[in-house]
Amino acid sequence: MAGAEQPLPAGAAAGRVAPGLARVWPPLLTLAALSVLSVLLALSIGSVHVPLSGLLALFGSSADPLYYALVIELRLPRALAAFGTGGLLAVAGALMQVLLRNPLADPYVLGLSGGAAVGALGAMLLGLGALVVSGSAFVGALLSTVLVFGLAHGTGSWTPTRLLLTGVVVAAGWGAVITFMLVIGPTERLPGMLYWLMGDLAYARSAWPSLTMLAVACIVLAPLGRSLNVLARGPLQAATLGVSVRPLEWTVFLAASLLTSVAVITAGTIGFVGLVVPHMLRLVFGADQRLILPASALAGGSLLVLADIGARTLMAPEQLPVGVITALLGVPTFLYLLYRSR
Amino acid sequence: MSTLRARHLVIDIPDRVDGTPLDLEIMTGQVWGVLGPNGAGKTTLLHTLAGLRPPRRGEVLLDDQPLAELRRRTIARQLAVVFQERQDGFPATVLETALIGRHPFLSALQMETAEDVMVARQALSALELEGYEARAVSTLSGGERQRLAVATALAQQPRIWLADEPTNHLDLRHQVAVMHLLQRQAASGRSVFLCLHDINLAARWCDRILLLYPDGSACWGDTESMLMPAALEQLYGQKLSATRLDGAPVFVPRLVDAGPPGG
């Protein structure tokens, strides 16, 4: 302290500690390349193997009609839907982890996905239109968020145990409601509806809602990155550093619910993507949200595309729900994180 | 020059009568120390002065403007708070943590500049945390985290310091160093307002003292006039022995004929 005026150690322990634009782009470009690669793999691998040259030929005039139907009409929409869904879930997870200051938060574990599924299923059983189904899923996810945050917060702060218990119980409750709806639902629609429970991309109809929402989320959240870094230090600290805590928290609440509900409408309740992806990224790149949020979009998308390749091929010709694959990755990660947390 | 002023201020502690409304000005160059037993409302007062809690009555003025009407960002450019309890469970490095002190000065999409990084590094170095930049906060000891919290506030370059027990968890040398740092901040034209447990730190380093009683009454004034053994004994419900050492009063609990607290 006496030596407060002494010159600074030049570049001591620089490297990954000083954030800057130059630090953000290399990881994002790497992950973008990984994303393209994963989608190409998804187009190539399957019951019929399409070599890279075959993929390239599709864009030329000499396109093989069989390949065209297989790749452009079947595999591409599914791969893009997987990418959008995975990205949405990973960003939603990263947002919730900041809001709760807890790396264990995840839309599936905390029951948001379940709430969205109940909302969507309920609207479908009532025979309501697609727009109402989407809105209802969003309301379900939001209700879940408010329940978990409200109950777990109570009078004190969010302790990990209390938060997880609340989330797990709420998620179990939604699971029971989904089962109930499936039982009273028309039998002939049962196979098609089960995917809400396990998460299955075979039923994804269109990739555009999830991809559009993912792009919008990245653009809207970009200016909030540093404020989220500050919010991660707790609401009081954030307020003294100039963050309008309540509006920011509500933005994040709404964003996490919205992203989760679009993901659920696309592919049902796929678990643990929001847990695994931000965790892995933080291990490699640190906890700066300006990098972690866009990186989660890319890495979450890639992960789900790769997981879906596994789901399609591991037991071929049988198809697994992709939720089984993500659970195989997610459950050990979750347990490891829980073990490490105090 | 007055910087932070409490006008007829009554802090909001549930189930407590209003007590003495606070009318005080924290002037440039002053170091204020708040003393009081557990639960007297020291932390609540500090949070109210920072605008983090609404007062029950009265108002807090920052340069004659009510705090409640100012944007948080405007306040954050003037005033820093060192909290007693921190939530640093979320992963971050030491330098990243100090750098968030620069947050109020950067626009939404702006990245920290080289100058911001320099300010943060200087703050870390002033708290003897150089070489810790890349360490994860979770690996630091309690005292190191406390110094990091002070360094983060220092990186904010505030005109007004509000610090809740800034010497918590610190060894003797770092206690002195932090108090010395705060005193130098005041000497260079800032204002400092501290909640303290240790009467002797207050006696040595503060020039204004506020005594806060559990029933909500309060009195304040020069350190010399406030640190009367009788007043302090009543404040803490504890008999004290007083002496002078190195030009400052020193108080220690008296153990002979010590009755039960309050007796």
What does the block give as tokens for A332?
């050990």
Return the CATH number of the domain spanning residue range B1-78+158-174+181-230.
Answer: 3.40.50.300
Does the pLDDT value for residue B82 go beyond 80?
yes
How many domains are there within chain A? 1
C-alpha distance from residue B46 to each of A32, A248, A329, B35, B106 (Å): 47, 24, 47, 12, 26
CB contact under 8 A, A240 and B92: no
* Residue in B with minimal Cα distance to A224: B108
Give domain status of residue A187, yes or no.
yes
Cross-chain CB nearest to A12 (options B81, B118, B130): B130
Structural contact between residues B80 and A240, judged by C-beta atoms closer than 8 angstroms: yes
B54 has a chain A CB within 8 A of its CB? no
Give the model's pLDDT for residue A6. 38
Give the model's pLDDT for residue A15. 40
Give the model's pLDDT for residue B259. 55
Helix (H) or strand (E) holding A21: helix A21-44
Give the model's pLDDT for residue A154. 62
* Residue in B with minimal Cα distance to A1: B126
B172 has a chain A CB within 8 A of its CB? no
Residue contacts between A and B (CB atoms, under 8 Å)? 132
Give domain status of residue A5, yes or no.
no
On chain A, the residues whose CB falls within 8 A of the CB of B50 are 240
Give the model's pLDDT for residue B260. 58
Give the model's pLDDT for residue B183. 97
Average pLDDT over residues B1-5: 80
Q: In 3-state terms, what secondary structure has residue A235?
A: helix
Instruction: Report the C-alpha gap between A153 and A146 in whole angstroms.
Output: 10
Instruction: Report the C-alpha gap between B53 and B36 in whole angstroms.
Output: 20
Segment B35-55, tens digit of pLDDT: 999 999 999 999 999 999 999
Give the model's pLDDT for residue A151. 78
User: Does the structure's ipTM exceed the value 0.95?
Assistant: no
Give the model's pLDDT for residue A315. 86
Residue carrying the six token digits 């309540």: A246
Q: How far is B231 from chain A (nearest CA, A)?
A: 33
Give the model's pLDDT for residue B257. 62
Instruction: Report the C-alpha gap between A240 and B164 in whole angstroms.
Output: 13
Amino acid at A138: F
HSE-CB of B155 using CA atoms within 13 angstroms = 33
CB contact under 8 A, A21 and B181: no
Give domain status of residue A47, yes or no.
no
Give the model's pLDDT for residue B174. 96
Amino acid at A59: F
Give domain status of residue A53, yes or no.
no
* Residue in B with minimal Cα distance to A244: B72
Q: How far is B118 from chain A (nearest CA, A)?
A: 9
What does the block give as tokens for A195?
């995917």
Helix (H) or strand (E) holding A16: none
Q: In 3-state terms, what secondary structure has residue A269?
A: coil
Q: What percent of chain B has pLDDT over 70?
A: 95
B188 has a chain A CB within 8 A of its CB? no
* Residue in B with minimal Cα distance to A103: B90
Residue carrying the six token digits 């634009």: A21
Residue carrying the six token digits 């007004």: B160
A196: nearest Cα among A123, A267, A133: A267
Q: What is the 3-state secondary structure (H, E, C) of chain B?
A: CEEEEEEEEECCCCCCCCCCCEEEEEECCCEEEEECCCCCCHHHHHHHHCCCCCCCEEEEEECCEEHHHCCHHHHHCCEEEECCCCCCCCCCEHHHHHHHHHHHHCCCCCCCCHHHHHHHHHHHHHCCCCCCCCCEHHHCCHHHHHHHHHHHHHHCCCCEEEEECCCCCCCHHHHHHHHHHHHHHHHCCCEEEEECCCHHHHHHHCCEEEEECCCCCEEEEEHHHHCCHHHHHHHHCCCEEEEEECCEEEEEECCCCCCCCCC
Give the model's pLDDT for residue B2. 63
Structural contact between residues B151 and B100, judged by C-beta atoms closer than 8 angstroms: no
Q: Around Cβ B70, how many Cβ atoms within 10 Å?
A: 17
Instruction: Report the C-alpha gap between A261 and A64 in whole angstroms.
Output: 38
HSE-CB of A227 using CA atoms within 13 angstroms = 20
Band of residue B70 on the pLDDT scale cut at 50, 70, 90: very high
The CATH number for A311's domain is 1.10.3470.10
Q: Could you state, in order of their start, the residue ranges of all structural domains in chain B?
A: 1-78+158-174+181-230, 89-157
Give domain status of residue A260, yes or no.
yes
Q: Around Cβ A36, how many Cβ atoms within 10 Å?
A: 11
Amino acid at B203: A
Give domain status of residue A331, yes or no.
yes
Query: Which residue(s) pair with B35 in the sheet?
Result: B211
Give the model's pLDDT for residue A13. 37
Give the model's pLDDT for residue A155. 58
Give the model's pLDDT for residue A53. 79
In whole numbers, what is the pLDDT of chain B averaged over residues?
A: 92
Segment B107-132, tens digit of pLDDT: 988 889 999 999 999 999 999 999 99
Q: State which residues form the domain around A117.
A: 104-340
Q: Around Cβ A232, how many Cβ atoms within 10 Å?
A: 24
**Low pLDDT (below 70) residues in chain A:** 1-21, 153-160, 189, 191-192, 341-342
Structural contact between residues A282 and A104, judged by C-beta atoms closer than 8 angstroms: no
Give domain status of residue A188, yes or no.
yes
Instruction: Report the C-alpha gap between B151 and A106 in whole angstroms.
Output: 33
